[in-house]
Structure 1
Amino acid sequence: MGKPIQLFNGKDLSGWKATGKTNQWVVKNGILTSPQSGSNLVSEQKFEDFKLHVEFKIPAGSNSGVYLRGRYEVQIEDSPKDAHPNAVLFAGVYGFLAANEMMNKGAGEWQTFDITLVGRLVTVVANGKTVISNQEIPGITGGALDSREAEPGPLYFQGDHGPVEFRKVVVTPAIK
């Protein structure tokens, strides 16, 4: 793996751009915050194969996601802890791959994803537990920026389904 890249500096939106008409994203006390529904936030840097570490928190009833290469959404959602996992709940690759176990800590708690993406093969570790292991994503998920799967792409945070906060975003690119 290459050198880790801190994509969020804890101070401002440097390296990121909002999509849509209104940017609601702000940085408060070192936390990247979308206080209400609005624009998505897209990284200026693009990545091919990588490991991502992201820390996030959502309030009750909220919904977000992190898009890998801008094409594959890993779901951030206030899913019930006792829900049977499926591909539209917490840590699922939206519409395609379900987590094998519900590892959602619940609303208002800081949570982590450690995601490895190589080609279309994805591993998702949610709150320290591997919930998707080296499975192939069959195609782009809804909300994808484009369908050019062979090309590098940005990370993006869904900001149009309710409040969400991020405090750490580290990408470690693969060395080719």
Structure 2
Amino acid sequence: MLTLLAIFTSILGFAQQPDWEALAKESKKTEVYEPVPQKVTPGDSSREAPSDAIILFGENNLEKWTYDKPNNPQTWKVDNGILTVNKKAGGLTTKDKYMDYQLHLEYRIPEDITGEGQSRGNSGIFLAYLGLDESGLFEDGYEIQILDNYNNETYVNGQVGSMYKQSIPLANAAKKPGEWQTYDIIWKAPRFMGDGSLLSPASVTALHNGVLVQNNYELKGITPWIGQPSYRKHGASPIRLQAHGDPSEPISFRNIWLREL
């Protein structure tokens, strides 16, 4: 009987109401009220940029970009809010330079695409463009691949969604040629010490058509076509749309915006 009474008393003790006032005081010790996050109005649809976005291309002009071939800007055709690379145009590079950002971009590979492997809708986004390499022949920087891999095989570290020649995508989320596709990318630029040594590597998180393909991947350096990745000191850099020069072009782009982080 004494044992049962002790158990019953113990249960009643646990059933007592907690001291909410004391708990609230404890909770306040870990509440933070500053800094207050900036208010940002999101777009009403997936095609609308948020209120604090920098619109890189959204209408019918390329005022925020520079041409590789300034005397022949018609090689990039702009029509009704769609930007299309035409013939061997050379790339487009932003006039401004950026460090860390969130980037949204939409692209379309032609429905009647031809070719195979890397010669099928090949393009790319240089998330930080460093110019040409030492040979003066190849582009230097950090490229996330654009390619038609809906029904097209190639080396997996060169398919759509890859950080070219470096990081295999976590999934193949390619849509059919002729359909609009999206990239949503979080880019963190590398940092360097005064002597040029690496302080912290670049990292990228990317969603292709809403599917995670790069998950905070830390790059080993630039993404060269030939050779191993490596770093060299740089700061804020432009973004570049690659014109690969394949006969399988033209590739179209629209609704390009970013938010600096």
> TM-score normalised by the shorter chain: which range applies?
0.7 to 0.9
Structure 2 residue corresponding to 1:155, chosen from 218, 239, 247: 239
Give me the whole-angstrom Cα distance separating, in 2, the residues matched to 1:141 and 1:36.
25
Q: Residue 54 of structure 1 corresponds to which residue in structure 2?
A: 105
Cα offset for 1:84? 8.0
Q: How much identity, in percent, do the aligned residues show?
A: 32
Q: Residue 102 of structure 1 corresponds to which residue in structure 2?
A: 172
Cα offset for 1:85? 7.4
Distance 1:26-1:136 versus aligned 2 partners, 3 A rule: same
Give deviations 1:49-100, integer Å, cap 9, x for gaps.
0010001111222210011011211111011347587210011111101111
Give me the whole-angstrom Cα distance separating, in 1, the residues matched to 2:233 and 2:222.
8
Cα offset for 1:154? 0.8
Q: Does the aligned pair in 2 maintain the 1:113–1:125 contact within 8 Å?
A: yes
Structure 2 residue corresponding to 1:27, chosen from 78, 83, 87: 78
Which structure has more strand as a fraction of its residues?
A: 1
Give deviations 1:13-32, integer Å, cap 9, x for gaps.
11111114744112111101
Q: Does the aligned pair in 1 maintain the 2:150–2:175 contact within 8 Å?
A: no
Greater gyration radius = 2
Cα offset for 1:37? 2.8
Q: Which has the higher contact order (CA 8 A, sep 6+)?
A: 1
Give me the whole-angstrom Cα distance separating, in 1, the residues matched to 2:244 and 2:97.
22
Q: Does the aligned pair in 1 maintain the 2:150–2:177 contact within 8 Å?
A: no
Q: What SS does the aligned partner of 1:69 have?
A: strand
The one-letter code of the counterpart of 1:165 is: S
- Structure 2 runs not aligned, ≥5 long: 1-36, 39-51, 114-119, 130-140, 190-201, 226-230
Number of residue pairs aligned between Structure 1 and Structure 2:
171
TM superposition score normalised by structure 1? 0.88
Give me the whole-angstrom Cα distance separating, in 1, the residues matched to 2:238 and 2:169.
23
TM superposition score normalised by structure 2? 0.61
Structure 1 stretches (4+) deviating beyond 6 angstroms? none
Give me the whole-angstrom Cα distance separating, in 1, the residues matched to 2:56 and 2:152.
33
Which structure has more helix as a fraction of its residues?
A: 2
Q: Does the aligned pair in 1 maintain the 2:150–2:176 contact within 8 Å?
A: yes
Structure 2 residue corresponding to 1:8, chosen from 45, 49, 57: 57
Distance 1:75-1:149 versus aligned 2 partners, 3 A rule: farther
Root mean square deviation, CA, Å: 2.2
Distance 1:149-1:166 versus aligned 2 partners, 3 A rule: farther
Q: Does the aligned pair in 1 maintain the 2:103–2:185 contact within 8 Å?
A: yes
Give me the whole-angstrom Cα distance separating, in 2, the residues matched to 1:96 and 1:83.
17
What pairs with 1:1-176 in structure 2 (closer than 5 Å)? 3-20=52-69, 22-23=72-73, 24-59=75-110, 60=113, 61-70=120-129, 71-81=141-151, 83=153, 86-119=156-189, 120-142=202-224, 149-161=233-245, 162-174=249-261
